[in-house]
Amino acid sequence: MKKRILVVSPTGTLDNGAEKSIVNLMIYLAGKGYHVFNAYPDNQHETKERYIQVLEEHQIKTISIPTAKWWWPEAPGTVPFLKTEQILAYQQAIFIIRQIIREENIQLVISNTANVFQGSIAAACEAVPHFWLFHEFPTKEFAYYREKIEFMVQNSAAIFAVHGNLHERLKELFPASTDIQSFIPYSDIEGTPLQESTSRRLVSIGRINENKNQLELIKAYHQLNQPQYPLVFIGDWDEAYKAQCDDYIAEHKVTNVHFLGHQNQPWGLVSKSDICVLNSQSEAFPLVFVEAVLNGVPVIASDNLGYQSVKSFLQAGTLYHLGDVKQLVQYLKEHLERFEVHKEESLRQQKIARGIYCIDTCYQQILKAIEGNPTSPAKGLHAIRYLLGEVDYRHLQSLVDEQFITVYFEKGGTFSETHTTVYPLELQGTIDILLPEDCQKIRIDMTERPSFYTHIQLLALDYDTSLLPIFTNGLVYRDSYIFPNPDPQLIFQVPSFYGKRVRLRYSLYEIDEVMSDAYIGKQLAQELLNLRSRLKLLEAKEVDYQQERIKVEKMQRQLEEITAQYNQTIASRRWTISTALINFFRRKK
């Protein structure tokens, strides 16, 4: 009977090569009869639903794990949580993974990337073999995992690194007794034909961030000074780095640069006349390079170690020295001028690449290790398993001082402590308030501490009418009220014709339970994601508008040129003499 395998993923999205590779590995294993399960961090990324759909289509069970931070504490990425919350979230994730191992009778756990560790601890506690897959060089933002190498070796039955320079580098860093095997990240791009076009473009695919280094390409494009060839970026972005790119474009008046945002099928937007340009500072075995070669698209890439590995394996692409903008400009110019030659060469390389790049070859060593009889490593962590993810931390409730809502009734034009009513604060509540005579204004203090509400509503019961506050010291967004400072207040005007009966309704955001779907961080992050999606749609429409405007302006110039030529013709001496002769003979008739 085939093994039952749990794969722990780093993001649970489809926007990076490591996840695309592991998704294809899981599908490959499921196709060979293995029972595959996938644990991933809960997220609000726009590719999440597609990620789940792809796996479930292949009978791979997915388990979403809520967390404050998923990667190692030292790993890149900031989170708006206290250290205590992060630690509890790590423990909770280990608890859930251990639970999955027991309930699903998991026989092997695989951690994808050096950044996720919960699977290794859970596997050790449950005495189950564990494989670790490495996709990143231990440099720059990933240099932190060098100090964890000994732990990784002790808690892995097998270790695999991406083929090429990363594999060679890790063999140098890991203990000599460690047998580091290799694999090739696989990308399945069948069914995504390129668009037909004769217009040449420079295209960059990938998330726009500091490591991907797209600003270097923008600088080269500016120096190239051939704006008739569009520069197109396909991929989501980090806001701060995108702002740097926008600032450079604006400052140097660079034109015909387009940002299309994340696309589910980026190669569906690429044409047969495009040139793919990749500028990353660090990669392991970048799939976008592989995909470009398999699609027969000419590639210019920086000479980082990952791009060198792909070029060596597929014997394709042109590399420039990372940071040498002048050399990049030369290669861009040469590829545009001699495009037909480079296109013919890329199509030749495409045939060779498709012959050597197949999933059986890519995952051969991993499959062989799975089919063997891997054993659980030394039982160091197993001895202290009762301290690691042993209890459900969702049952731990933070201690909160008793809080109250205070309603102040205006009297003599002022609010005072002698004219108040106090009510206990609840997570969500309804309070009926009876106004004193001659009171047409009330102040509501929503506790004395900072607090955050999904909604606050004051209803005039006799007219079933919602009243809006005339003052608040909080931030208002749609129905939500955010009070980041102590003593949150709202003041309402209640004219006498509304009657004396009003009802206060409110609901607090979840602020203590980081695992909850109602947690304020998740709620606001989802709202931000929705707004960003709408912004990207508007930006795409802006790109379309600008392209149409350029076409209209070009047609306008052509019309003006034709009109000028016409006016010059009819005003010329040759035209006037010819016209006079024609008119003369017409009169003779």
Residues 111 and 252 in one domain: no
CATH code for the domain of 91? 3.40.50.2000
pLDDT tens readout for residues 87-100: 888 999 999 999 99
Does residue 193 belong to any structural domain of this protein? no
Query: In this structure, are 24 and 141 located in the same domain?
Result: yes
pLDDT digits (tens, 9 = 90+) for 480-526: 898 988 889 999 999 988 889 999 999 988 765 555 565 566 666 66
Together in a domain, 182 and 218: no
Q: What is the mean pLDDT of residues 128-137?
A: 96
Query: Are residues 426 and 505 located together in one domain of the fold?
Result: yes
In a domain, 195, yes or no: no
Question: Residue 409: its pLDDT value, please?
Answer: 95
Residue pLDDT, tens place only, 174-200 = 999 999 999 999 988 765 789 999 999
Residue 228 lies in a domain: yes
Instruction: Looking at the structure, tell me whether residues 70 and 49 fall in a common domain.
Output: yes
Phi/psi at 380 (nearest 5 deg)? -60, -55
pLDDT bracket for residue 552 (50, 70, 90):
confident
Q: Note whether 92 and 216 are same-domain residues.
A: no
% of the chain with per-residue pLDDT over 90: 63
pLDDT of residue 172: 95
Instruction: Give per-residue pLDDT as tens, 456-467.
Output: 999 999 989 999
Does 296 have pLDDT greater than 80? yes
d(CA 145, CA 74) in angstroms, rounded, equals 8
Q: Which pLDDT value is given to residue 21?
A: 93
**Residues in the chain, total:** 589
Q: Is the pLDDT assigned to residue 565 strictly greater than 50?
A: yes
Q: Tell me the average pLDDT of the chain.
A: 89
Please count the CA atoms within 13 angstroms of the CA of 279 that sit on its side-chain side: 27
Closest-CA residue to 489 (of 445, 454, 458)? 445
**What is the number of structural domains in the chain?**
4
Q: What is the pLDDT of residue 337?
A: 95
pLDDT at 396 over 60: no
Contact 42, 64 (CB under 8 A): yes
| Residue 397 confidence (pLDDT) | 41
Domain-located, residue 342: yes
Supply the pLDDT for residue 536. 79
pLDDT at 584: 63
- Written as six digits, the tokens of 19 are 């996840």
- Are residues 324 and 249 part of one domain? yes
Domain that holds residue 207: 201-356
Pick from 71-80, 324-333, 441-450: least confident = 71-80
**Do 447 and 311 sit in the same domain of this protein?**
no
* pLDDT on residue 398: 43
Q: What is the pLDDT of residues 217-275, one digit of tens each?
A: 999 999 999 999 999 999 999 999 999 999 999 999 999 999 999 888 899 999 999 99
State the pLDDT at residue 84: 74
The CA-atom distances, in angstroms, between 293 and each of 240, 242, 288, 471 are 31, 27, 9, 61
Query: Can you give the CATH number for the domain in which 453 is found?
Result: 2.60.120
Most confident listed range (323-332, 476-485, 552-561): 323-332
pTM above 0.85, yes or no: no
426 in a structural domain: yes
Domain boundary, last residue among 509, 544, 575: 509
Do both 373 and 460 map to the same domain?
Answer: no
pLDDT for residue 44: 81
Of 56, 111, 133, give the one whose Cα is nearest residue 362: 133
The reply to whether 111 falls in a domain is yes
Q: Which of 19-23, 274-278, 367-371, 380-384 has the lowest mean pLDDT?
A: 380-384
Q: Is residue 247 domain-shared with residue 129, that is, in the same domain?
A: no
Strand partners, 430: 505
User: Which residue in 524, 543, 532 sits closest to 238, CA to CA?
Assistant: 532
Q: Which helix (H) or strand (E) is 522 found in, with range?
A: helix 520-571
Q: Please tell me whether residues 342 and 286 are part of one structural domain.
A: yes
514 is a domain residue: no
Average pLDDT over residues 68-73: 90
Query: Which of 80 and 158 is assigned the larger pLDDT?
Result: 158
Residue 515 forms part of a structural domain: no
Could you tell me if 341 and 286 lie in one domain? yes
pLDDT higher than 50, residue 401: no
| HSE-CB of 561 using CA atoms within 13 angstroms | 6
What are the backbone dihedrals phi and psi of residue 184, each rounded to the nearest 5 degrees, phi first? Answer: -115, 120
d(Cα 220, Cα 4) in Å, to the nearest integer?
A: 50
- pLDDT score for 515: 54
pLDDT-based confidence at 400, cuts 50/70/90? very low
Confidence of residue 557 (pLDDT cuts 50, 70, 90): confident
